[in-house]
Chains A and B, each alone.
Chain A
Amino acid sequence: NFMLTQPHSVSESPGKTVTISCTGSSGSIARHYVQWYQLRPGSAPTTVIYEDDQRPSGVPDRFSGSIDSSSNSAFLTISGLKTEDEADYYCQSYESSTNWVFGGGTKLTVL
């Protein structure tokens, strides 16, 4: 079974840049698109990246996504960190339209 592995937590200071990884267990991560979701307590989750590197309207351009085939990983990079970026971030891909795979989530602390 295809699995996605994320670091449990990352932390960085306001104004800095942080990158969260999402590594595929088998097969090429580039085979299907990767998405990134932001979950904050008390707020509806939001999609911050879709199709590997596309940003939905309304998501600041401080958020960017990328894929590195050599490491079989997807990355979410957040620059100019703000305290409001503190949240859990999940990567997601799929093996079929209804066989979704989520990463375990990464808790981002901005301190």
Chain B
Amino acid sequence: QITLKESGPTLVKPTQTLTLTCTFSGFSLSTRGVGVGWIRQTPGKALEWLALIYWDDDKRYSPSLKSRLTITKDTSKNQVVLTMTNVDPADTATYYCSYRNTTPWVDYWGQGTLVTVSS
């Protein structure tokens, strides 16, 4: 059974760096074809794809956020970490961790974690 769970701060101040961790089980991020990514849902309900890391450490980012995002993995801990620098109130959203296997869509989602950016 594949599960993913996001963790991180619920409140971040503008200009700070946000660090989110996805802890997963039921698969290995060293298996060929597997990828773990991040998607967020803004308060206005829009979904936005953010970043993805593959089993071979290939990393992909949303072009509009690329300069602010870093995604890394720790295969031994079954974790993926997303960092976002210089956050702004517009980054207030529910952040979801996601699993996919060779496909350009989500197979499984985490429950999401709400992050508020406010001073």
* A interface residues, Cβ below 8 angstroms from B: 32-33, 35, 37, 39, 43-47, 50, 56, 88, 90, 92, 94, 96-100, 102, 104-105
Contact = CB atoms under 8 A, between A and B. Distances in A.
B47 interface: yes
Contact of B49 (A43, A44, A102): A102
A105 B112 contact: no
A105 B104 contact: no
Contacts of A97: 60, 104
B41 interface: yes
B52 interface: yes
Contacts of B108: 47
Contact of B110 (A37, A44, A102): A44
A47 B48 contact: no
A100 B49 contact: yes
3 closest Cβ pairs, A-B complex: A98-B60, A102-B47, A100-B49
Contacts of B112: 44-45
Nearest to B98: A45
